[in-house]
Structure 1
Amino acid sequence: MTYDRLSQLSVGLGVDLAVFFTAEGQRFEAGSFAVARGGDFERQETQNYVYEMLFPDLWNKAMTPMMGSLKARELVDFEDFVRHPGQEFLIVMEGEVTVFVEGRDPVHLAAGDSIYFDSSVGHLYASGGDRDARILVVCVPGPEGGFVSSGGRV
């Protein structure tokens, strides 16, 4: 299942997104901290992305951090733009990324470049080069507390 659909399902069921990646978790409490070592993630693969969900056993986080690889190369690889309440941050760790934003010219990013935007605006990511790009994405939900997709498949 795709990230946007998992997010929509978590809102509909009133559960933390992390429950889809681990059966047991701990609530993040004020004053606490957590460390993720290399390889500490839950993998979720779709047609266009490979998500590495960080801190899957830490529930009720204020943000959803994930690393991943972009398999898609073109806008035509997608059925529709993704939209969800909140804000989103992306930094390119390796390779090149094209960020498609509905109603705007594509934004081309190289390793070390980043973008921060209102994620209720339709958006998609694709590798800009001939190999899969590596990215770090952090999503912060909107005031509703959850993510909602336009129904697009990513």
Structure 2
Amino acid sequence: MRRPIVLAKIREIRKSKGLTLEQLSQASGLSVSQLSKIENGKARLTFDTALMLSGLLKVPVTAFLSSPTSAPVARRSITRAGGGIVHNTPGMKFEVLCSDFREKRNVFWRVVVTAKTVEEAGGWRHHPGEEFLFVLEGTLEIHTEHYEPVRLKPGDSILFDANMPHSYVSQGKRDAVVLMSNTVPADGEPPAVVTHR
């Protein structure tokens, strides 16, 4: 359940834009009653509804979905091109990006996939959390336990539960290069780069 203080922010932003519940209701297609319940924490705020409201109110969706912090946070981390720590695994090279934060919710990697088969990639891997991939170069073929292999080209992306066994291979003459993000498990330890089944 969302914390009421987070939900109350919808009302705060709506009022700052000079909108009444009735006006937001007409623009969103949600009833006044439903909007009022969302604002007061009596109805669940779904991601799709938050996304739609953020578009109408012209604020980032994270304004509704993130928990409030007790003090302003002003951290940043920069990794210069080629400056990340590199981990080499069978068929893949992982470069850790922006890893300076002591407490992380995500780990970011630039991954070069050279493997042409699942075997060359070291077989199947799985780990806690979610995995996000955005293809920068080449063609990436993703194998997962519950789905048929799918090919992604530059500009394509995918998000999946990383506990599902998965493997990556590069298709074509060029290596596949991807931006990867993993959620960090609750114990705060980054996910293992390779966990074979």
Same fold (TM over 0.5): yes
| CA distance in structure 2 between the aligned counterparts of 1:79 and 1:65, rounded to whole angstroms | 21
Among candidates 40, 58, 65, match of residue 108 of structure 2:
65
1:152 aligns with 2:192: no
| Alignment partner, residue 178 of structure 2 | 135
Aligned ranges for residues 33-44 of structure 1 at < 5 Å? 33-44=76-87
Q: Number of matched residues?
A: 125
**Whole-Å Cα distance in 2 between the matches of residues 46 and 152 of structure 1?**
12
Q: Matched residue of 1:76: which SS?
A: coil
1:142 Cα deviation from its structure 2 partner: 3.6
Which protein has the bigger helix share?
2
1: distance between equivalents of 2:169 and 2:129?
21
Larger radius of gyration: 2
**Is the contact made by 2:104 and 2:188 (CA closer than 8 Å) also made in structure 1?**
no
- The alignment's C-alpha RMSD in Å is 2.3
Question: Which amino acid in structure 1 is aligned with residue 103 of structure 2?
Answer: N
Task: Go from structure 1 to structure 2 and tell me whether the alpha carbon gap of 1:38 and 1:79 turns closer, same or farther (over 3 Å shift).
Answer: closer
Q: In the alignment, is the contact (CA less than 8 A) between 1:87 and 1:142 conserved in 2?
A: no
1:77 to 120, 125, 135: 120
Partner of 2:119: helix, strand, or coil?
helix
Residue identity matched to 1:113 = D
**Quick check: 1:40–1:55 contact (8 Å CA) kept in 2?**
no
Q: Residue 65 of structure 1 contacts residue 137 of structure 1 at CA under 8 Å; is this kept in 2?
A: yes
Q: Flag structure 2 segments of 5+ consecutive residues without an equivalent.
A: 1-71
For the residues of structure 1 that align with 2:132 and 2:194, how far apart are their CA atoms? 19
**What TM-score results when the alignment is normalised by the length of structure 2?**
0.57
Is 1:113 equivalent to 2:156 in the alignment?
Answer: yes
Q: CA deviation at 1:32?
A: 1.3
Structure 1: 5+ residue runs without aligned partners? 1-28
Deviates more, 1:92-101 or 1:79-88: 79-88
Give yes or no for contact 1:100–1:124 (8 Å, CA) kept in 2.
yes
- Which residue, out of 136, 149, 152, partners 1:93? 136
Cα gap change, 1:41 to 1:148, in 2 (>3 Å): closer
Instruction: Give the structure with the higher percent strand.
Output: 1
Give % identity. Answer: 30
CA change 1:49–1:39 in 2 (3 A) is same
Q: 1:39 to 1:79 in 2, by over 3 A?
A: closer
Question: What is the 5 A alignment of 1:10-25?
Answer: none
